[in-house]
Amino acid sequence: MSPGGEGEELDVLDSQERERFEQLVLPHLDAAFNLARWILRGRNDAEDVAQEAMLRAFRFFRGFHGGDVRAWLLQIVRNSCYTWLEKNRPMELNTEFDEELYPQPGVTPESLAIAGDNRERLTRALEGLPPRSREVLVLRELEGCSYKEIAAITSMPIGTVMSALARARQRLERALTQANPVRNQEANREL
Amino acid sequence: MSCELTQSVLHGYLDGELDAARAADFERHLISCPQCASALETQETLRTSIQQAGLYERAPSTLRRKIESQYGVPAAVTPMRVKAGVRPSSWQWLAVAAALFLAVFLGWRLIPGLGANRAQVELASAIVDAHLRSLQPGHLEDVVSTDQHTVKPWFDGKVNFAPPVRDFAGDGFPLEGGRLDVVEGREVAVLVYGRRKHVINVFVWPMSEADTSPQSGSQLGYNWISWRKAGMEMYAVSDVSPADLDALRKLLSE
């Protein structure tokens, strides 16, 4: 079925382990893709990197001895994403959120509800955040991870997850209401 | 003027990560701190927006097929075990035959549209339809209660089996109620769970076949997972992530 050497190389798990891999790891493929898509901000790159991460997971699977398999896989995905970014778009890793650019807009739930009621605007605001703010939001709000899981995935001390989320949410709030042309005409002055 | 809890503890509270004592402290604080009260409302709005925007992006089917064919239990595994240039001995052929048999068997079980699986896809459609129906106003619950001791007796006398009614509020899946439904002509009990403002319907009916490991899929953007355990067939359906559904399945299987 598979051509020559490639098959040999992948044949590191016996059939029992393959079955375990299929049952435990493959159900989290959506989670893997979703995280990669948001860190890399694109579906095509995410597809490549998620595939590479699955290969790594497959190779490391012997070293996985139970526990939270989703967090284990997402940690591999995240590392693969950052390795890829370093190689292909290193500038992005240094983007800082410019608080000056987004003055605190005096957010009210109403203005936020209006701004958030738009998938495209939310996507743009989220993609405008530095990757490390973006990933904690994605893990928490889209993937429903606990603080403990977020800490494990991002190699962040558990004590700092809460403040990282607080910062990320505040940034998202700002980016969101700032990008709302109804509330702020200045948003039309695109760079 | 500014309260420092707005940028710290408030988020732990919002995420349900504070222990009971600290959560109670913060709730007392909320009464006297308009800034935190308003920030909490803002954060809840933001969360609702994010969750309703459908930002979760599932793996494209091309990727899924690629990964499944590479790392899943292989559909036709075996030649790779036989090294080129080495004549396979007879026991190796036996292994090949066994593996092929296994592959065919698994293929028959797993490939959609084949054998028993077609029926399952149809059943899953019916379940997703029932889930959608339940989301119409007023259709979700016949008995509204977060108390398993109210929901469980409610089913008595309405169905001739006892669905496993348990509340998992402590694990983030609060029981919200139950109802009766009919799926493919069969009367089923439905347990309704909440998951951070999303609804999960768990359809339960009795069956006499052996327990099975979970199978899952998605239709119309809704995820489902099904399993058989202790004489009950169960289908959980929702727009929450497959991982969340699996977490609920584990709780229900305990």
Nearest to A144 among B74, B84, B244 (CB): B244
Helix (H) or strand (E) holding A95: none
Which of B4, B46, B92 should one mutate to test binding to chain A, selecting the residue with the greatest count of A CBs within 10 A?
Answer: B46
The type of residue at A123 is T
Any domain includes A1: no
- Residues A178 and A102 occupy one common structural domain: yes
Nearest to B55 among A11, A27, A122 (CB): A122
Residue B91 or B253, more confident: B253
Any domain includes A133: yes
Q: Is B148:B154 a contact under the CB 8 Å cutoff?
A: no
* The last residue of a domain, from among A93, A112, A136: A93
Please tell me the pTM assigned to this model. 0.57
- What tokens were used for A95? 């983007």
Q: Which residue of B has its CA nearest to A42?
A: B57
pLDDT band (50, 70, 90) for residue B17: very high
- Residues A162 and A104 occupy one common structural domain: yes
Question: The domain that contains A57 carries what CATH number?
Answer: 1.10.1740.10
- What tokens were used for B86? 């080495």
Any domain includes A3: no
DSSP string, A156-185: --HHHHHHHHHHHHHHHHHHHHHT-TTT-G
Give mean pLDDT, residues B36-60: 89
Q: Do A4 and B54 touch (CB under 8 A)?
A: no
Q: Do A43 and B60 touch (CB under 8 A)?
A: yes
Q: Do B8 and A166 touch (CB under 8 A)?
A: yes
Nearest to B80 among A7, A70, A108 (CB): A7
Q: Which residue of B has its CA nearest to A55?
A: B71
Q: Of the ranges A59-63, A114-118, B83-87, which one carries the lowest mean pLDDT score?
A: B83-87
pLDDT band (50, 70, 90) for residue A136: very high
How far off is chain A from B207, nearest CA to CA, in Å? 24
Q: Which residue of B has its CA nearest to A22?
A: B72
How far off is chain B from A18, nearest CA to CA, in Å? 6
Q: Do B72 and A26 touch (CB under 8 A)?
A: yes
- Residues A102 and A123 occupy one common structural domain: yes
Q: Please report the pLDDT score of residue B143 as a whole number.
A: 76
Any domain includes A6: no
pLDDT of B77 above 60: no
Q: Please report the pLDDT score of residue A139 as a whole number.
A: 96
How far off is chain A from B58, nearest CA to CA, in Å? 5
Ordered by where they begin, the domains of chain B are 4-52 (no CATH), 58-111 (no CATH), 117-253 (3.30.200.100)
Nearest CA to B207 among B223, B184, B224?
B184
Q: Please report the pLDDT score of residue A185 as a whole number.
A: 40
Question: The domain that contains A146 carries what CATH number?
Answer: 1.10.10.10
- Residues A83 and A99 occupy one common structural domain: no
Any domain includes A5: no
- Residues A89 and A103 occupy one common structural domain: no
* The last residue of a domain, from among A73, A93, A113: A93
Nearest to B196 among A23, A25, A144 (CB): A144
Nearest to A163 among B8, B63, B77 (CB): B8
- Residues A24 and A100 occupy one common structural domain: no
Q: Please report the pLDDT score of residue B93 as a whole number.
A: 62
Mean pLDDT of chain B: 80
- What tokens were used for A61? 């699977």
Give percent of chain B above pLDDT 70. 81
Q: How many CB atoms lie within 10 A of CB B45?
A: 22
Any domain includes A87: yes
Nearest to B17 among A1, A162, A170 (CB): A162
Q: Please report the pLDDT score of residue A106 as a whole number.
A: 60
How far off is chain A from B101, nearest CA to CA, in Å? 13
- Residues A75 and A21 occupy one common structural domain: yes
- Residues A32 and A73 occupy one common structural domain: yes
pLDDT band (50, 70, 90) for residue A183: very low
Any domain includes A4: no
Order across the sheet with B186-195: list the strands.
Answer: B143-144, B175-183, B186-195, B198-206, B232-238, B222-229, B212-219
- Residues A100 and A88 occupy one common structural domain: no
- Residues A75 and A141 occupy one common structural domain: no
Give mean pLDDT, residues B165-185: 88
What span, in angstroms and rounded, lies between the C-alpha atoms of A71 and A52?
Answer: 17
Q: Which residue of A has its CA nearest to B13?
A: A162
pLDDT band (50, 70, 90) for residue A113: low
Any domain includes A20: yes
Tell me the ipTM for this assembly: 0.83
Residue B125 or B101, more confident: B125
What span, in angstroms and rounded, lies between the C-alpha atoms of A113 and B138?
Answer: 25
- The total of structural domains in chain A comes to 2
- Residues A64 and A79 occupy one common structural domain: yes
Residue A150 or B7, more confident: A150
Expressed as residue numbers, the domain containing A84 is 11-93
Which positions in chain A touch B197 (Cβ < 8 Å)? Answer: none
* The last residue of a domain, from among A93, A126, A145: A93
Which positions in chain B touch A2 (Cβ < 8 Å)? Answer: 80
pLDDT band (50, 70, 90) for residue A91: confident
- Mind listing the pLDDT tens digit for each residue in B191-215? 999 988 788 999 999 888 888 888 8
- Residues A129 and A161 occupy one common structural domain: yes
- What tokens were used for B226? 């099904």
pLDDT band (50, 70, 90) for residue B236: very high
Q: Could you say which DSSP state residue A67 is in?
A: S
Q: Please report the pLDDT score of residue B107 as a whole number.
A: 56
Nearest CA to B188 among B230, B218, B232, B150?
B232
Give mean pLDDT, residues A166-187: 69
How far off is chain A from B13, nearest CA to CA, in Å? 10
Q: Do B53 and A116 touch (CB under 8 A)?
A: yes
Report how many helices (DSSP H) and strands (DSSP E) chain B contains, helices first. Answer: 8, 7
